[in-house]
Structure formats: C-alpha cells, structure tokens
Amino acid sequence: MLGFSSRAFHRGIPYKMFDREHYGLEAKNAHILERVYYKGQANVWDGKEVLGSLLERFGKPQVPEETKRALKRVFAIILWGELAAWRISAELADEIEPLEAKMAATSQAFDEARHFYVMHDYLQALDATPDRLDWGPRRLLEEVMNADHLAKKLLGMQLMVEPIALTLFHVVKKLDIEPVLTHLLPYYERDESRHVALGVQYLPAMLSRMSALERAELWAFQAKLLTYEVVSNYWVANDLYHLGINPRELLDIGKAKQFRAMELVVPKWGQVSNLPSFVVGRYVECMGELSLPAGGKPLPLRERVGNAWRALRHGGEPVTLDLIPEIPDDAVPLIHREQEKPAKKARLSVASAA
Ligand SMILES: [Fe+2]
Ligand SMILES: [Fe+2]
C-alpha cells in the first residue's frame, strides 16, 4: 500500500514515511514541501483581526443590490470551494505518507479553515451569505471531494481549482468592487500560492508510481473537471459580466494557469508525455468556443460550431502568465512576520543539538 488509494483502508503505522525514495519523492521536492509548512507558520494571519480591522477602516460592506446578488452567486463557489479545499487538504494530510508532503498538506488544512470562516463572516457582513450551489460548480467540487484516488484529489484541488480561485481573486481585487474585499483578497492569494506547490512538488512522485491505466484515468478525470469548469463559468456568466469580468477571459486565464502547473509537473515526472495535456487543452478550447464566445457577445450556433472546429484543429490564442501572483508585504500588513524568527531559531537549535 503506497498510500495513494483514497478508499477506506486499514491504517497501520507508516514506518517508511521517512524514506522518500520509496515514494519516488526527490530530495529537492521534499525540501520545498517542508518549507511550505514553515512558511505557512511564519505567514499566519488572524482572520478575526484582519476582517475586523478592515470593517473598522472601511465600514460595513455596501454595494448596489444587483452587485450584491452577483457577488453572492460568484462567491458561493469560493465559499464552498474553501470548504472543499479544507476537507481535501485534511484528507491529504491524513493519507499522504511521506513526512514532508504530509506536513505541507497539514499546513494547508490550517489555512483553508481560516479561509472558510473569514469568507463566511465577510459574506455575512455583506448580507450575501450563500446557501446552495448551482449544478455545475456543485458537480465540480463533489467530483474532487469524492475522487477515488489521491492523485485525482491532488490534481483536482491543487492544480485545477486553486489556480481558478487565484485568477478570480486577482481579477476581483483589481476591479476594486468593494474595499473590504479588495484588501482581504491579498491575504488569500498569499496562502493559495503556497498550496499550488503541494500539487507541483508531490504529484510527480505519485505519477511515477502509477500504472498506465491509472494515469489514463487521471487525464480523463482532468477533462471531466474542465468540462464542469466551463459549465460553472457559463452558469455565472451574467453575474461575472455584471461585475465587469469577461467569463471567457477568466476561463482562458484559469486554463492557462492550470496548464502552466501541469508543465511544471510533467518534466519532473521525467517522461515525455505532453500528449494528454495537448488533447485535453484542445478539447477545453473547443468547449469554450461553444459556450462562451471569445468576443463576449452571443453568437449564432453555426458560428460557434465553426469557431469550435477551428479551435480543435489549430488551438486558441496562447496566454502567457505567471502561475503564482507576487503579493508585496504592504498588501498584507497584518501578517506578523516577526513570528518567523523565533520559529526558525528554535528549529535550528534543535537541528544543531542533534
Ligand atoms: Fe483557500
Ligand atoms: Fe488553498
């Protein structure tokens, strides 16, 4: 048992958890994963303090009623997505065996709990607490939560859902729709950037131990999730337009971030196999042309089918971007960095004592 299957199994003591090679985890990847844990500790923020100080500074969030409705529907996906991320990272922390990857997943679960309650409290202050999700985003999150393999959960959450959330945070922040939200989102972005690392650093180890059939199932799973992402975008397209966001651009940027993450994973995996990503990429471009035409205007079905066929044959416009946003320290003033020094010192003294 390599600790990959997500089905219930008898838990024994994982005596091999210190043996990276047993899990195909390279030393440099393990080192980065360990740092994710310590960075998480050093960059911790108090959700009550941050939201409280922003509410004190800008007052109760107020936006026009129609904007509130749009924010409520779009951020329902974020709120329940944070809960899904919390549950999945807690599950990864439990089931992943190598020490450093387990530490990184544990640190993420701690962050996601904060993201969930702070987002809930913010939406409550806005008087826009969401209840149920629409079909598309609900299926997307439930597919990842109920995946039958840890690699699917890792790919689905860290490399597909997290990059979409990062894209949405970035765009909403730039539009400055509501000042409390604008100043709250950089804290989320800081944390989410670390979470992508768990997928990028640990998925290659998982892939290296999977059979050809399991890998084929993983790419099929990726295509299924991308379909639900397109459907989810379509579902909230009018809300996004209302907020000043082009849903097709959001889809293209989110997809580009996902494929950038996959590019980082595949070379580390050590096998030349861009074909699955290529096929999945063309497929999702085709779906995008059918559901959300690039110009942002509704097009007759015939024209959309023509564009989809062209996208399938030639691909779409390439989007180049950074996977992880740079968040300057002054955008997150309530991250108390002084905590970093004692934590590092304590660890060094233990290491030097050993
Ligand atoms: Fe999160
Ligand atoms: Fe996250």
Instruction: List the domain boundaries for the chain.
Output: 35-318
Q: What SS3 class is residue 101?
A: helix
Q: Residue 184 and residue 54: Cα distance in Å, rounded?
A: 8
More confident residue, 189 or 341: 189
More confident residue, 121 or 12: 121
Q: What is the pTM of this model?
A: 0.84
Percent of the chain with pLDDT over 90: 43
Distance of CA 197 from the midpoint of ligand 1 (Å):
13
Note the ligand closest to the C-alpha atom of 185: 1
State the Cα angle at 162 between 80 and 98, rounded to 5°: 105
Confidence at residue 161, expressed as pLDDT on a 0 to 100 scale: 87
Note the ligand closest to the C-alpha atom of 108: 2
pLDDT for 15-30, tens place per residue?
A: 999 998 888 888 999 9
Confidence at residue 100, expressed as pLDDT on a 0 to 100 scale: 95
CATH fold, domain 35-318, is Ribonucleotide Reductase, subunit A (1.10.620)
Asked if residues 308 and 289 have their Cβ atoms less than 8 Å apart, the reply is yes
Mean pLDDT of 241-270: 77
Q: How confident is the model at residue 53 (pLDDT cuts 50, 70, 90)?
A: very high
More confident residue, 100 or 5: 100
Distance of CA 245 from the midpoint of ligand 1 (Å):
21
Counted residue by residue, the chain has a size of: 354
Confidence at residue 262, expressed as pLDDT on a 0 to 100 scale: 74
Q: Residue 88 and residue 105: Cα distance in Å, rounded?
A: 9
Confidence at residue 316, expressed as pLDDT on a 0 to 100 scale: 62
Confidence at residue 348, expressed as pLDDT on a 0 to 100 scale: 45
Distance of CA 165 from the midpoint of ligand 2 (Å):
8
Q: Which range in 165-169, 253-257, 337-341 is most confidently predicted, on average pLDDT?
A: 165-169
Asked if residues 33 and 104 have their Cβ atoms less than 8 Å apart, the reply is yes
Which contiguous run of DSSP H or E holds residue 162?
helix 162-175
Distance of CA 202 from the midpoint of ligand 1 (Å):
19
Confidence at residue 345, expressed as pLDDT on a 0 to 100 scale: 47
Mean pLDDT of 259-275: 65
Q: Residue 121 and residue 180: Cα distance in Å, rounded?
A: 12
Q: Give the CA distances from residue 138 to residues 76, 133, 162, 315, in Å, rounded to whole numbers and listed in that order.
A: 10, 6, 16, 29
Note the ligand closest to the C-alpha atom of 163: 2
Q: Residue 205 and residue 258: Cα distance in Å, rounded?
A: 19
Distance of CA 173 from the midpoint of ligand 2 (Å):
17
In terms of phi and psi (left: phi > 0; alpha: psi -120 to 50; beta: otherwise), the region of 109 is alpha
Confidence at residue 305, expressed as pLDDT on a 0 to 100 scale: 65
Distance of CA 112 from the midpoint of ligand 2 (Å):
6
Q: How confident is the model at residue 281 (pLDDT cuts 50, 70, 90)?
A: low
Is the model's pLDDT at 92 over the cut of 80? yes
Torsion of Cα atoms, 249 then 253 then 256 then 258, to 10°: -120
Confidence at residue 109, expressed as pLDDT on a 0 to 100 scale: 97
Q: How confident is the model at residue 81 (pLDDT cuts 50, 70, 90)?
A: very high
